């Protein structure tokens, strides 16, 4: 699953990782914690708020130790009110702070939607930039942890549909840290979805095999210091010429493992930022390979794959040698016992690969 | 339910759904004698730093200062000098003159929409006077009085109402949805009650920085039914945030009377009790009482003694907006029968009673203010009226969605400009 060494090197050159201090092996939780730690240290205006994130350090431990280090007025627990959490973050942004609210699970972001969609996302526009909402809403998302329908959803396309919001999804500890820092420093509101299935280790889609940790993976070598990964730039996970696969979050790893086991020379792009999208990287790759597959865990209809498919069709039609394939979750709620029947795993992806190569 | 309907032998009483109904409908004779009106000066005034509980009796009372005798009474008399009183009178009168002219401008087709605050001027003008100039205001849409009290230029307001080429908000917002960072007046949202948690967040931020600025927010009584109201009051009490919640109970929310927000069961001020927040209920048409309540709450917030909910009991004398015809759902007599009078008249009469003002001065002032509004309109109209071409350049439509224009918006902007060239090959003024 480790990308070619050149790719990693390239990464680190384009980011600022050179001067980011000692490198340490971190899982995605620790990498996120490290990003928050760096930003709290560098910028007094950064504050963290959310349910159980203070003393306890968050239900996934992403904020562990930060309240103790930075004090209760910078890292604090909130009432169980997502409307309130996002709403006060808008007001804090208006004051001049840079709040980083955590929504405990993406499934619970809905009570805060009006404050996100009508307020945070529109404030710059409606005030002609007098007021802005420079917040980064962090939230664990996605399934594969037996969370049932209320701890598994992937609602990213709700947010990509909203003008004025950026949506970012990392797939490795190294990216998680660099992207989160860029999000916090960004002056627009950003939704930062953390694929919780890969918090502790990459996932190849074979749920019945023992879970892997991030130990030993290059992508888990994370600098202790501050570095950025620019928003709007995809990562080439693997170069290839048989087809282009567009994925993000957990699915990057699943796709990588399936293509490897099938021996398909696919080019895999980890989109990393859905809005703004790295359209150049997508176009360049699809023009080269002539085939395109899109993979996401979210439900199919009006999922972000629909947008990607439309864009590829509009921009690369004459380079396409086969219809675009979409591999997604089903249009049902995320079931509990049949979680793996829902999940777009190796069988669904494998079938789509075969079809795409056949056409 | 199927098994319930078979249950013939049950002697359980039949349930009945209560749907609130206002007392008076079009054509009805109005009698407001059921509304308890307290004695001016009779309400106790707790210390600003008192425990919230001490204010709870005031949540079911009505703080009043100005009596029938036009004199100020009791501990809530803010003892303002005549100069300040004349200033507030002038601003309230300016708001009314402005409202009248802008209403007509809408009827003349110069813009799409307007909202008056007739009868409610004290709740914004006098409350703003009680705040410091840099305290942050999170308004709803009927607080033009806050802007006028802070000296906002009328031409700026009219440019916004006309969405013309000088509109600071670039024609993006519905008329009257002002914004002025310079005057610490937050951008108005069309989504009701969203400003409440935002004001709380601003106040929390100010407190966390050890600043001295507080936040004050306004909301209609109908909008208190939104979840944001509950979130905001919860956060405000949890963090003891320096914020003031002004609930403007003008009895109506478009065509729905206050009963649909719960007024049949409790006052809006009494909402504070459940949160353990200080609450005051004030005669919203009494400029002195409004000022005194707001100043009390501001001093309380500034002393780190916590947030306050103030219910301003008032009456929406006109329609909801230019799109509304209140004669379709309420009795026209309500306005004339309203027992708390008109805030401008009451302050005028008080100043006359003090020997600091006269009917002649009032008349001259009204004339002068109307002239000022008309001159400002003329000035603003040079920059265009809605739909007459003098708007911001097309490209601005795509700006400020994000700090930087991403590729997809750049492409869409090119398309918009291309469409314009096809539509107007000869070109049109931007
Ligand atoms: C979330 C939301 N729901 C509905 C509306 C439509 N709406 C606009 S004003 C209004 C009535 C509000 O009444 P109230 O809060 O009492 O304020 P008032 O108009 O009396 O000042 C309604 C229902 C809206 N703007 N936003
Ligand atoms: Mg109302």
Residue A245's closest CA among A231, A230, A229, A262? Answer: A262
Q: Do B189 and A88 touch (CB under 8 A)?
A: no
**Positions of A marked active-site:** 151
Q: What is the pLDDT of residue A19?
A: 82
DSSP annotation string for B109-166: TSSS-----TT-HHHHHHHHHTS-TTSEEE--TT-HHHHHHTT--HHHHHHHHHT-TT
Q: Do B408 and A123 touch (CB under 8 A)?
A: no
Q: What is the pLDDT of residue A9?
A: 45
Residue A17 makes CB contacts below 8 A (sequence gap 6+) with A11, A178, A223, A227
In chain B, the percentage of residues whose pLDDT exceeds 90 is: 93
Alpha helices by DSSP H, listed for chain A, are 5-14, 28-42, 66-70, 82-95, 113-114, 123-126, 156-160, 173-185, 250-262, 279-289, 304-316, 339-342, 346-358
CA distance A171 to A252: 7
How far, in Å, from the CA of B193 to the mean position of ligand 1? 9
| Among candidates A114, A126, A276 on the partner chain, residue whose Cβ is nearest the Cβ of B187 | A126
CB A296 within 8 A of CB A193: no
Q: Whose CA is nearest to atom 12 of ligand 1?
A: B253
Q: What is the pLDDT of residue B361?
A: 98
Min Cα separation A157/chain B (Å): 16
How far, in Å, from the CA of A110 to the mean position of ligand 1? 22
The verdict on the CB of residue B318 being under 6 Å from ligand 1 is no
Chain A residues close to B204, C-beta within 8 Å:
88, 91-92
Chain B residues close to A186, C-beta within 8 Å:
403
Chain B residues close to A132, C-beta within 8 Å:
403
The ipTM assigned to this model is 0.94
Residue pLDDT, tens place only, B3-37: 555 556 689 999 999 999 999 999 999 999 999 99
Kindly give the confidence (pLDDT) of every residue in chain A, 359 residues in length, as a single tens digit, with 9 standing for 90 and above.
344 444 444 444 455 576 899 999 999 999 999 999 999 999 999 999 999 999 999 999 999 999 999 999 999 999 999 999 999 999 999 999 999 999 999 999 999 999 999 999 999 999 999 999 999 999 999 999 889 999 999 999 999 999 999 999 999 999 999 999 999 999 999 999 999 999 999 999 999 999 999 999 999 999 999 999 999 999 999 999 999 999 999 999 999 999 999 999 999 999 999 999 999 999 999 999 999 999 999 999 999 999 999 999 999 999 999 999 999 999 999 999 999 999 999 999 999 999 999 97
In chain A, the percentage of residues whose pLDDT exceeds 90 is: 93
Q: What is the pLDDT of residue B424?
A: 86
Token readout for A8 is 């990693």
| Among candidates B232, B400, B402 on the partner chain, residue whose Cβ is nearest the Cβ of A128 | B400
Residue pLDDT, tens place only, B396-410: 999 999 999 999 999
CB burial of residue B412 (10 Å; 0-12, 13-18, 19+):
middle
How far, in Å, from the CA of B153 to the mean position of ligand 2? 27
Residue pLDDT, tens place only, A275-292: 999 999 999 999 999 999
| Residue corresponding to tokens 């992937």 | A154
Q: Do A78 and B403 touch (CB under 8 A)?
A: no
SS3 B246: strand
The verdict on the CB of residue B253 being under 6 Å from ligand 1 is yes
Say what the pTM is.
Answer: 0.96
Q: Which atom of ligand 1 is nearest to the CA of B220?
A: 15
The verdict on the CB of residue B355 being under 6 Å from ligand 1 is no
How far, in Å, from the CA of A266 to the mean position of ligand 2? 61
CA distance B198 to A22: 40
How far, in Å, from the CA of B252 to the mean position of ligand 1? 10
Token readout for A122 is 């529109």
Q: Which atom of ligand 1 is nearest to the CA of A114?
A: 1
In this structure, which residues have their CB less than 5 angstroms from ion ligand 2?
B 220-222, 250, 253
Q: Do B191 and A276 touch (CB under 8 A)?
A: no
Q: Which atom of ligand 1 is nearest to the CA of B320?
A: 19
The verdict on the CB of residue B190 being under 6 Å from ligand 1 is yes
The verdict on the CB of residue B141 being under 6 Å from ligand 1 is no
Min Cα separation A93/chain B (Å): 8
Q: Which atom of ligand 1 is nearest to the CA of B219?
A: 15
Name the phi and psi angles at B179, rounded to 5: -160, 130
Q: Do A130 and B205 touch (CB under 8 A)?
A: no
The verdict on the CB of residue B116 being under 6 Å from ligand 1 is no
Question: Is the pLDDT higher at B146 or at A14?
Answer: B146
Q: Tell me the mean pLDDT in the region B106-116.
A: 97
CA distance B348 to B285: 12
Q: What is the pLDDT of residue A12?
A: 43
CA distance A191 to A252: 19
Residue B80 has pLDDT above 50, yes or no: yes
Q: What is the pLDDT of residue B390?
A: 79
The verdict on the CB of residue B129 being under 6 Å from ligand 1 is no
Residue B309 has pLDDT above 50, yes or no: yes
């Amino acid at each position: 699953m480790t990308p070619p060494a050149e790719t990693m090197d390239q990464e680190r050159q384009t980011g600022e990782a050179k001067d980011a201090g000692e490198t340490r092996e971190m899982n995605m939780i620790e990498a996120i914690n490290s990003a928050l730690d760096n930003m709290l240290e560098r910028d007094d205006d950064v504050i963290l708020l959310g349910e159980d994130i203070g003393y306890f350090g968050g239900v996934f431990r992403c904020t562990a130790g930060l309240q103790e280090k930075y004090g209760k007025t910078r890292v604090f627990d909130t009432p169980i009110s997502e409307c309130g959490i996002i709403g006060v973050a808008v007001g804090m942004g208006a004051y001049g702070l840079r709040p980083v609210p955590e929504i405990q699970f993406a499934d619970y972001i809905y009570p805060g939607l009006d404050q996100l969609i009508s307020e945070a996302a529109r404030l710059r526009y409606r005030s002609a930039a007098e007021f802005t909402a420079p917040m980064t809403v962090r939230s664990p998302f996605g399934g594969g942890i037996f969370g049932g329908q209320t701890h598994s959803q992937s609602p990213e396309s709700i947010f990509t549909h909203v003008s004025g919001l950026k949506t970012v999804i990392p797939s490795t500890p190294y990216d998680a840290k660099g992207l989160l820092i860029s999000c916090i420093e960004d002056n627009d509101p950003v939704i930062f979805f953390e694929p919780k299935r890969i918090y502790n280790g990459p996932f190849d889609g074979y749920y019945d095999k023992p879970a892997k940790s991030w130990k030993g993976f290059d992508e888990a070598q994370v600098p202790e210091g501050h570095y950025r990964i620019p928003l709007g730039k995809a990562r080439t996970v693997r170069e290839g010429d048989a087809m282009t696969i567009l994925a993000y979050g957990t699915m990057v790893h699943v796709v990588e493992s399936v293509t490897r086991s099938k021996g398909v020379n696919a080019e895999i792009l980890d989109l990393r930022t859905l809005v703004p999208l790295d359209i150049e990287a997508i176009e360049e790759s699809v023009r080269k390979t002539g085939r395109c597959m899109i993979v996401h865990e979210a439900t199919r209809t009006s999922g972000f794959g629909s947008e990607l498919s439309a864009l590829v069709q509009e921009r690369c039609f004459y380079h396409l040698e086969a219809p675009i394939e979409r591999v997604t979750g089903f249009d049902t709620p995320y079931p509990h016992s049949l979680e793996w029947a829902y999940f777009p795993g190796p069988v669904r992806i494998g079938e789509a690969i075969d079809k795409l190569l056949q056409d | 339910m199927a098994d319930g309907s078979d249950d013939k032998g049950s002697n359980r009483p039949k349930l009945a759904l209560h749907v609130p109904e206002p007392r008076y409908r079009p054509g009805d004779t109005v009698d407001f004698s059921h509304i308890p009106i307290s004695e001016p000066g009779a309400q106790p005034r707790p210390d600003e730093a008192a425990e919230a509980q001490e204010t709870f009796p005031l949540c079911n009372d009505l703080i009043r200062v100005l009596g029938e005798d036009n004199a100020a009474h009791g501990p809530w008399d803010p003892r303002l000098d005549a100069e300040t009183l004349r200033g507030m009178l002038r601003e309230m009168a300016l708001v009314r003159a402005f409202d009248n002219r802008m209403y007509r401008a809408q009827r003349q087709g110069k813009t799409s929409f307007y909202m008056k605050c007739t009868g409610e001027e004290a709740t914004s003008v006098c409350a703003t006077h009680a705040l410091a100039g840099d305290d942050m205001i999170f308004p709803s849409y009927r607080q033009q009085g806050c802007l006028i009290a802070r000296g906002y230029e009328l031409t700026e307001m009219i440019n916004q109402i006309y969405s013309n080429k000088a509109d600071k908000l670039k024609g993006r917002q519905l008329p009257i949805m002002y914004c002025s960072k310079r005057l610490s007046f937050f951008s108005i949202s069309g989504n009701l009650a969203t400003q409440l948690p935002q004001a709380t967040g601003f106040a929390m931020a100010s407190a966390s920085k050890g600043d001295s600025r507080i936040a004050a927010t306004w909301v209609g009584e109908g909008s208190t039914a939104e979840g944001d109201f509950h979130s905001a009051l919860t956060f405000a009490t949890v963090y003891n945030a320096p914020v003031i919640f002004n609930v403007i109970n003008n009895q109506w929310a478009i065509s729905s009377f206050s009963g649909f927000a719960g007024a049949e069961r409790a006052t809006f001020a009494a909402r504070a009790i459940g949160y353990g927040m200080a609450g005051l209920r004030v005669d919203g048409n009494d400029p002195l009482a409004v000022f005194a309540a707001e100043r009390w709450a501001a001093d309380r917030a500034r002393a780190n003694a916590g947030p306050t909910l103030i219910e301003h009991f008032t009456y929406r004398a006109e329609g909801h907006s230019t799109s509304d015809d209140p004669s379709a759902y309420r009795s026209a007599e309500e306005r004339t029968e309203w027992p708390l009078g008109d805030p401008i008249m009451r302050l005028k009469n008080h100043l006359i009673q003090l020997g600091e003002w006269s009917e002649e001065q009032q008349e001259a002032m009204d004339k002068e203010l109307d002239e000022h509004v008309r001159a400002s309109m003329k000035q603003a109209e040079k920059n265009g009226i809605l739909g007459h071409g003098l708007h911001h350049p097309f490209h601005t439509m795509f700006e400020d969605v994000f700090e930087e224009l991403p590729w997809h918006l750049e492409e869409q902007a090119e398309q918009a400009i291309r469409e314009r060239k096809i539509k107007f090959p000869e070109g049109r003024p931007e």
